[in-house]
Structures are given as C-alpha cells and as structure tokens.
Amino acid sequence: MIVGPELAPTPVDEDAVYGHIVNTFTGRDVDAVIVNGGEVLRGGKFIATDALKELDYVLGKFLKSFKPLGD
C-alpha cells in the first residue's frame, strides 16, 4: 500500500509497483527507507552509517530488474 497525503491510498500489485513509484513520487515524498530490515532513512535524513553501501546494493538489484528497450 502506498499512501501520500495528497493521494488516495493506492493498492499496487508487484507487477506495477516500480512504474507507480517512478511515475508518481519524487525524493521529497520519501520519509523512511528500510533496507534488509534496517532503517536507512528516517524523517528524510540518512541515519545508517553504511547507508550508501546498502543503497548501492538495492539500486543495483533494481536496475537489473529492467529489460533494455527492444527486447
């Protein structure tokens, strides 16, 4: 479930979640980020010392999930 103050609660299935996030939100909409069960961002501020390492890992996985255009 994705909830924004200016948006109605939106149920999103796993096939559409990336597109929904990319096309609906900006960085200012992020309040908290949890990676591998640990809080990395709270109140819009990094709180984990190894946050960049964790985010690099997650971003790498995220980018690998996309297929190049034309495939």
21-67 confidence digits (pLDDT tens):
787 778 787 888 888 888 878 888 878 667 677 778 888 888 888 77
Q: What is the pLDDT of residue 33?
A: 83
Helix, strand, coil tally for the chain in percent (to 5) = 35, 20, 45
In this predicted structure, the answer to whether residue 4 has a pLDDT above a threshold of 70 is no
Residues 6+ apart with CB under 8 A from 62: 18
